[in-house]
Amino acid sequence: MTTITRFAPSPTGRLHVGNIRTALHNWMLARKAGGRFLLRIDDTDAERSKEEYVEAIRADLAWLGLSPDGEERQSARLAIYEQAFEALKAAGRVYPAYETQQELELKRKIQLGRGLPPIYDRGALKLTAEERAAKEAEGIAPHWRFKLDHDEAITWEDGVRGAQKFDPAQLADPVIRRADGSWLYMLPSAVDDIAMGVTQVLRGEDHVSNTAVQIQMFTALGTQPPAFAHEALLVGKEGKLSKRLGSLGCDAMREKGIEPEALVAMLARLGTSLPVEPVADRAALIDTFDLTTFGRAPAKFDDTELERVNTAIVHAMDFAAVAGRLPDGMDAEAWHAIRPNLGVIADAGEWWQLVTGPIAAREFDADTRAYLSEAASALVWNNTPWQDLTAALKESTGRKGRDLFLPLRQALTGMDHGPDMAELLPLIGESEARARLQNAAQG
């Protein structure tokens, strides 16, 4: 059986790290099994769903490199939900209910006051045909509930949480359809999972009790439920996700210089027993992806850890992967020289300026000026100008360590630190290097 997974965001906002993680894990699960990964846009809420978010979700998945093998939209499938609804109604598994929000609130308060769980009392099921007709004659349109079967415990083997068991009598019959005919999440999702042949539902643990209900829906619709797995939620270091990176969408992360590979590497393993490492090779991440490594405790998302992974990913990136994002003229040698100094790729321009100039002017004392003047004359241009220059100066001046190297770096780049001079000097070029040394020697 082909593994089919799906990512089912509601287009009511931008994706954030929590749902990016769910998308990634579903993608990895499908890729690992050689299966299919579907994007399902859960847009039954016409008021809150926006086309701009649908587009943003697609763009974000593309940026992350999580291309879906198919896309479906719930708003285009309403007739299919209607059919399932009618079938369930005919089977006595959905029923009309007429309570207002206030009535339901009041019932809840009374139950809580009596120390009972606030579960819908199935009042609507006790209405006679006349009472229902009277409600409708008053102009009260019903909303619709799915009738849970109380006879048997609901059980499943959860891919992350292990054996799960729910007593259906402890769950409320969920409202599946509003009085205006619009759909709530629960039934369309189950209907789609069946229609799309989804074999594995992987989502956050906030859906665990929905799963219990949906398992009964699958059965009521005459199918075997898919496999379910619920991962622990993502939290920030101090409980909440941070305002800095944790709550940002892909656009904002990209602007801050976070590479998709860094986000993917981190979210692939966060909350698992595997170490978070700057692995840019997706195949390697997919290879090690395994639901049994997922922990039950909330996964902690730490901005600094993402930055650390990002820096390591940037340092290992090939020129070909970044060429289009570098300043004009910056070639593979320059990228190689500058790369270890970068936190984010956008900083390459600042370092590249050390090659192209102008560089910051520095003041040197008389002694150092004499040394730099000697350096200007000692400069010989060959394949290893820096090594040869420093070797010659060490010999002729007796300087070593910092005294030998720092004034040269300062005169040649205007800075106290930066890329490896052996790589940088050939990029600066002979005449420019000599001019910088002479210039510094003159003070």
Residue 215: count of CB within 10 angstroms of its CB: 21
Find the shortest distance in angstroms from Cβ 425 to ligand GLU.
55
8 binding ligand GLU? (CB under 6 A): yes
Contact 181, 205 (CB under 8 A): no
**Position 42 contacts ligand GLU (CB under 6 A):** yes
Q: How far is the CB of 9 from ligand GLU (least distance, A)?
A: 5
Nearer to ligand GLU, 208 or 317 (CB): 208
Q: How far is CA 39 from CA 29, 36, 58, 135, in A?
A: 14, 10, 9, 41
Rounded distance between C-alpha atoms, residue 201 and residue 7, angstroms: 9
Cis peptide before 226 (omega within 30 of 0): no
- How many residues belong to the site for ligand GLU (CB under 6 A)? 8
* CB-based contact 191:221 (threshold 8 Å): yes
- Here the tokens at position 13 are 């906002």
Least Å from the CB of residue 238 to ligand GLU: 25
Q: Which of residues 169-188 bind ligand GLU (CB under 6 A)?
A: 185
CB of 78 to ligand GLU, least distance (A): 16
Look at the block and give the residue holding tokens 């019959």: 173
Q: What is the nearest approach in angstroms of ligand GLU to the Cβ of residue 49?
A: 10
User: From the centroid of its chain, how far is CA 310?
Assistant: 14
Contact 417/339 with Cβ under 8 angstroms? no
CB of 75 to ligand GLU, least distance (A): 13
Output the smallest distance, CB 36 to ligand GLU, in A. Answer: 16
- The window from 5-13, 83-91, 123-131, 291-299 that contacts ligand GLU (CB under 6 A) reads 5-13
Stretch that binds ligand GLU, among 6-14, 80-88, 119-127, 215-223 (CB under 6 A): 6-14
Among 10, 111, 341, 439, binds ligand GLU (CB under 6 A): 10
H helical segments located in 242-384: 250-255, 260-269, 282-288, 303-315, 319-322, 332-338, 348-356, 366-378
Q: Pick between residue 229 and residue 355 the one whose CB is nearest to ligand GLU.
A: 229
User: Hey, how many other C-beta atoms are within 10 angstroms of the C-beta on 140?
Assistant: 15
Cα–chain center distance at 360 = 40
Nearer to ligand GLU, 49 or 368 (CB): 49
Is there binding between residue 307 and ligand GLU (CB under 6 A)?
A: no
Please report how many Cα atoms fall inside a 13 Å half-sphere around the Cα of residue 401, on the Cβ side.
1
Is residue 9 within the footprint of ligand GLU (CB under 6 A)?
yes
Is residue 327 helix, strand or coil?
A: coil
Q: Give whichever of 42 and 303 is closer to ligand GLU, judged by the CB atom.
A: 42
Residue located via tokens 């379910």? 228
Min CB(201)–ligand GLU separation in Å: 6
**Which lies closer to ligand GLU via its Cβ, residue 10 or residue 373?**
10
Per CB under 6 A, the list member of 14, 21, 203, 409 interacting with ligand GLU is 203
- Give the one residue of 44, 49, 189, 310 binding ligand GLU; rule: CB under 6 A: 189
Comparing CA positions, the residue from 222, 89, 210, 203 lying closest to residue 154 is 210
Q: Select 207 or 256, whichever has its Cβ closest to ligand GLU.
A: 207
Residues contacting 149, CB < 8 A, separation 6+: 168, 216, 220
Distance CA 401, CA 393 (A): 12
Please tell me whether residue 49 binds ligand GLU under the rule CB under 6 A.
Answer: no
Residue 138 CB, nearest approach to ligand GLU (Å):
34
AA identity, residue 66: L
Rounded to whole angstroms, the Cα distance separating 426 from 184 reads: 65
Distance separating alpha carbons of residues 208 and 64, to the nearest angstrom: 27
Shortest Å, Cβ 264 to ligand GLU: 20
Nearer to ligand GLU, 42 or 173 (CB): 42
| Residue placing its CB nearer to ligand GLU in the complex, 93 or 203 | 203
**Closer to ligand GLU by Cβ: residue 38 or 313:** 38
User: Which residues contact ligand GLU (rule: CB under 6 A)?
Assistant: 8-10, 42, 185, 189, 203, 207
